[in-house]
Amino acid sequence: MHLKVSSVFLTFVISVVAPLFCLQEVPYGTGSWDADLYGNHRAVIKINDKTDAVWLHVPWRRRDLNPEKKAAILIDGQTDKQVLNLCRININREFGDFLFQPTSSQGKYYLYYLPYQMEGRSNYPKVNYPEPRQTADIGL
């Protein structure tokens, strides 16, 4: 019985109390980028300190179905190259959790989280959302 109560309490702490300590105001704005290449939605991440890994929590509230089956692209703002060592931890309609290794250490990174590819005519396009690819170094 004690073990059951402890696990319920631990689950409560992890799912209810812990996120309250991580809450930050997320500023929203507009920007300019190649939407045909990256899609219409992005999050800007600013890293101030040198670190080997970054935990990223994006509260996006997506309306699309199955966001876990759609790609996300992380771009290093200093080099404009894709960060390949990106691991998708928990992707759902409310938020996305990622873990990545910065390539330029400090600076801005851009997470494009709904890239698309259009085919067909402009007045009747067919839009496809690429599936995620495993690009993270799994450490073997």
Quick one: average pLDDT of 110-126? 92
Asked if residue 3 belongs to a domain, the reply is no
The number of distinct structural domains making up the chain is 1
- Split at pLDDT 50, 70, 90, the class of 4 is very low
Rg (C-alpha) for the chain, rounded Å, is 18
Q: Outline where the chain has alpha helix (H).
A: 2-12, 18-22, 35-38
Considering the domain boundaries, does residue 88 fall inside one?
Answer: yes
Q: Give domain status of residue 72, yes or no.
A: yes
Please report whether residue 104 resides in a domain: yes
pLDDT surpasses 50 at 110: yes
Q: What are phi and psi of 125, to 5 degrees?
A: -80, 155
Residue 112: inside a domain, yes or no? yes
Q: Which domain holds residue 116?
A: 33-128
pLDDT digits (tens, 9 = 90+) for 38-83: 999 999 999 999 999 999 999 999 999 999 999 999 999 999 999 9
Q: Please return the burial class of 128, using the count of CB atoms within 10 Å of its CB with bins 0-12, 13-18 and 19+.
A: exposed
- Helices (runs of H) and strands (runs of E) counted in the chain: 3, 8
What is the domain-level CATH number for residue 117? Answer: 2.60.40
Rounded to an integer, what distance in angstroms lies between the CA atom of residue 102 and that of residue 111?
12
Q: Judge whether 100 lies within some domain.
A: yes
Tokens of 1: 């019985």
